[in-house]
Amino acid sequence: MSEETLEAVAWPIERAGEALEALARAARLPLPNPLPALSHAVPEDPSRVGEWLDAAAHALGLELKLLYTRHGEVETPLGRAAPALVEVVSTQGSAVVALLRVSSSGQTARLIAPDESLHKVPFSTLTAAVRARAEGHQGPVADRVLERTGLRGPQRATARRALLGLQLANTYLVAGRTLRLPPGARLRHHLRALRGGWRLLLLLLLAGVIQAGVLSMWWLIGRGAFEGQLDPGWLWAWALMGLTMVPLQAALAWVQGTLVMDLSALLRRQLLAGALALPVDEARRGGIGEYVGRTYESAGLEQMSLAGSFASVLAVIDLVMAASVMAAGPAGGYGLVALGGFCCGMAVLVARQALLFRRWTEARVGMTHALIERMLGYRTRLAQEQPERWHDEEDQELAHYAKASEQWDESTARVMTLARRGLLPVAILATLPGVLAGAPAARIAVGVGAALMAARAVGALTVGSLALLGARVLFRSVRPILKAAKCSEGVPGASPLSPGAALPEEQALLEVRDLAFRHPGSPRAVLEGASLVVRSGERVLLEGPSGSGKSTFASILTGLRGQGSGLLLLGGLDRATWTTDGWGAQIAGAPQFHENYVVSGTLAMNLLLGRAWPPTPEDLRVARALCEELGLGELLSRMPSGLMQMVGESGWQLSHGEQSRVFVARALLQRARIVVLDEAFGALDPVTMRKVMACVEARAPTLIVIAHP
Ligand X SMILES: Nc1ncnc2c1ncn2[C@@H]1O[C@H](COP(=O)(O)OP(=O)(O)OP(=O)(O)O)[C@@H](O)[C@H]1O
Q: What gap in Å lies between CA 166 and CA 202, rounded to an integer?
A: 48
Question: Residue 405 gets which letter from DSSP?
Answer: H
Tell me which of 4, 281, 397, 574 binds ligand X, using CB under 6 A: 281
- Please give the residues from 605 up to 644 whose contact with ligand X meets the rule CB under 6 A: none
H helix or E strand, kind and range, residue 702: strand 702-707
Q: How many CA atoms lie within 13 A of 624 on its CB side?
A: 15
Please identify, using beta-carbon distances, which residue of 291 and 342 lies nearer to ligand X.
291
Distance CA 709, CA 706 (A): 9
Q: Is residue 490 a contact partner of residue 576, using CB atoms and an 8 Å limit?
A: yes
Range 650-709, binding ligand X (CB under 6 A): 708
Q: Which of 552, 606, 670, 702 binds ligand X (CB under 6 A)?
A: 552
Output helix, strand, coil percentages for the chain, rounded to the nearest 5: 60, 15, 25
CB 686, min distance to ligand X, A: 20
By C-beta, is 544 or 651 nearer to ligand X? 544
Quick one: 270 or 555, whose CB is closer to ligand X? Answer: 555
Question: In this complex, which beta carbon is closest to ligand X, that of residue 88 or of residue 684?
Answer: 684
Candidates 114, 549, 648, 701; binder of ligand X (CB under 6 A) is 549
Please answer whether residues 562 and 488 qualify as being in contact, where contact means their C-beta atoms are separated by less than 8 angstroms.
no
Half-sphere exposure in the Cβ direction for 71 (13 Å, CA)? 20
- Name the residue nearer to ligand X (CB basis): 107 or 522: 522
Q: Which helix (H) or strand (E) element contains residue 396?
A: helix 392-421
Query: Closest distance between ligand X and the C-beta of residue 516, in Å?
Result: 13
Burial of 246 (0-12, 13-18, 19+ CB in 10 A): exposed
Q: Which stretch binds ligand X (CB under 6 A): 43-51, 327-335, 458-466, 550-558?
A: 550-558
Smallest separation (angstroms) from ligand X to the CB of 512: 15
Q: CB 373 → ligand X: shortest distance, Å?
A: 16
Residue 391 or 708: the one with the smaller Cβ distance to ligand X is 708
Give the C-alpha separation, 42 to 671, whole Å: 17
Of positions 443, 550, 575, 661, contacts ligand X by CB under 6 A:
550
Q: Which is nearer to ligand X, 211 or 660 (CB)?
A: 660
Rounded distance between C-alpha atoms, residue 167 and residue 151, angstroms: 19
How many Cα neighbours within 13 Å face the side chain of 33? 3
From the CB of 704, what's the least distance to ligand X, in Å?
Answer: 13
Q: How far apart are CA 459 and CA 329, in angstroms?
A: 21
3-class secondary-structure state, position 681: coil
Task: Build a one-symbol-per-residue string for 287-306: x at contacts with ligand X by CB under 6 A, - elsewhere.
Answer: --------------------
User: Could you give the C-alpha distances from 268 to 80, 271, 312, in angstroms and in order?
Assistant: 19, 5, 22
* Helical ranges in 150-194 per DSSP H: 153-167, 187-193
Helix (H, G, I), strand (E, B) or coil at 87: strand
Task: Please state the closest distance from residue 472 (CB atom) to ligand X, in A.
Answer: 30
Of 279 and 300, the one with the shorter C-beta distance to ligand X is 279
- Do you find a cis peptide bond into 83, omega within 30 degrees of 0? yes
Cα(229)–Cα(688) distance, rounded to whole angstroms?
100
Nearer to ligand X, 127 or 551 (CB): 551
548 contributes a contact to ligand X by CB under 6 A: yes
- Shortest Å, Cβ 657 to ligand X: 19
For residues 508 to 547, the per-residue mask of contacts with ligand X, x marking binding by CB under 6 A and - elsewhere, is: -----------x--x---x-----------------x-xx
513 secondary structure, DSSP code: E
Residue pair 624/636 in contact (Cβ under 8 Å)? The answer is yes
Interface pick for ligand X out of 312, 361, 551, 606 (rule CB under 6 A): 551
Q: In whole angstroms, how large is the CA radius of gyration of the chain? A: 32
Beta carbon nearer to ligand X, 80 or 708: 708
223 forms part of the interface with ligand X (CB under 6 A): no
Per CB under 6 A, which of residues 147..186 are in contact with ligand X? Answer: none
Q: How far is the CB of 611 from ligand X (least distance, A)?
A: 28
Binding flag, residue 456, ligand X (CB under 6 A): no
Identify which of residues 438 and 547 has a Cβ nearer to ligand X in the complex: 547
Residues contacting ligand X: total by CB under 6 A: 13
Strand 63-70 versus strand 510-517 pairing type:
unpaired
CB closer to ligand X, 493 vs 549: 549
Cβ 701 to ligand X, closest distance in Å? Answer: 24
CB of 555 to ligand X, least distance (A): 8
Burial 146-181 (b: 16+ CB within 10 A, else e): beeeeeeeeeeeeebbebbeebbeebbbbbbbbbbb
Cβ proximity to ligand X, 279 vs 449, nearer residue: 279
Within 8 A by CB and 6+ apart from 209, the residues are 248
Query: To the nearest whole angstrom, how small is the minimum distance from the Cβ of residue 525 to ligand X?
Result: 10
Q: Which is nearer to ligand X, 244 or 548 (CB)?
A: 548
Are 82 and 74 in contact by the 8 Å Cβ rule? The answer is: no
Question: Which among 318, 329, 319 is positioned nearest to 208, based on CA atoms?
Answer: 318
In angstroms, rounded to a whole number, what is the distance separating the alpha carbons of residues 170 and 165?
A: 9
Min separation Cβ 526 and ligand X, Å: 4
The single-letter DSSP state of residue 684 is: S
How many whole angstroms separate alpha carbon 193 and alpha carbon 677?
A: 43
Q: What is the rounded distance in angstroms from the CA atom of residue 344 to the CA atom of residue 356?
A: 19
Those residues with Cβ within 8 angstroms of residue 140's Cβ, 6 or more apart along the chain or in another chain:
none
Binding span for ligand X by CB under 6 A among 170-178, 262-270, 497-505, 549-557: 549-557
Smallest distance from ligand X to CB 283, Å: 10
CB of 607 to ligand X, least distance (A): 25
CB of 371 to ligand X, least distance (A): 23
Q: For ligand X, give the closer residue by CB, 262 or 281.
A: 281
Residue numbers of the site for ligand X (CB under 6 A)?
281, 519, 522, 526, 544, 546-552, 708
